[in-house]
């Protein structure tokens, strides 16, 4: 099956700093990548959708200046949490879909802790 990797798996940063999370599709070309966050015992909340070579589409309530998404190639998308605050601490998950795919394949997630 399709494999999606995420790096890092876990990161701790200080309040006010920025953190970059990478999402890679390892064995297929991901025309679309999605970024989710999940709070404890809650559902996956879609943050944004990014298509290769174009600007990301953010869901309502998600600050695009705070969560910068870049999808520069068909195998890589990055999410940068700028000026992170403790309330940004969460589990961030990316997923990817290709042109012929009916669904999404998820990365293993990144646990972000802002102190």
CB of 50 to another protein, least distance (A): 11
Binding site for another protein (CB under 8 A): 1, 4, 6, 32, 34, 42-44, 46, 49, 91, 93, 95, 97, 101-109, 111
Under DSSP, the state recorded for 30 is -
Between 4 and 114, name the residue whose CB sits nearer to another protein.
4
CA 61 to chain centre: 16
Between 88 and 97, name the residue whose CB sits nearer to another protein.
97
CB of 34 to another protein, least distance (A): 7
CB of 42 to another protein, least distance (A): 7
How crowded is residue 6: how many other Cβ atoms within 10 Å of its Cβ? 19
User: Cβ distance 108 to 88 under 8 Å?
Assistant: no
Between 76 and 101, name the residue whose CB sits nearer to another protein.
101
CB of 16 to another protein, least distance (A): 26
Q: Tally the C-alpha atoms within 13 A of residue 85's C-alpha that lie toward its C-beta.
A: 3
User: Cβ distance 97 to 105 under 8 Å?
Assistant: yes
Between 13 and 44, name the residue whose CB sits nearer to another protein.
44
Q: Give the Cα-Cα-Cα angle 8, 18, 79 (nearest 5 degrees).
A: 55
């Amino acid at each position: 099956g399709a494999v999606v990797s995420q790096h890092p798996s876990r990161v701790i940063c200080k309040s006010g700093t920025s953190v970059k999370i990478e999402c890679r599709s390892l064995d297929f070309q991901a025309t679309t990548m999605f970024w989710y966050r999940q709070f404890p015992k809650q559902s996956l909340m879609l943050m944004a959708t990014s298509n290769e070579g174009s600007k990301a589409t953010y869901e309502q309530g998600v600050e695009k200046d705070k969560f910068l998404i870049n999808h520069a190639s068909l195998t890589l998308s990055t999410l940068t949490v700028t000026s992170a605050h403790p309330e940004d601490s969460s589990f961030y998950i990316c997923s990817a879909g290709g042109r012929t795919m009916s669904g999404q394949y998820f990365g293993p997630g990144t646990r972000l802790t802002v102190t």
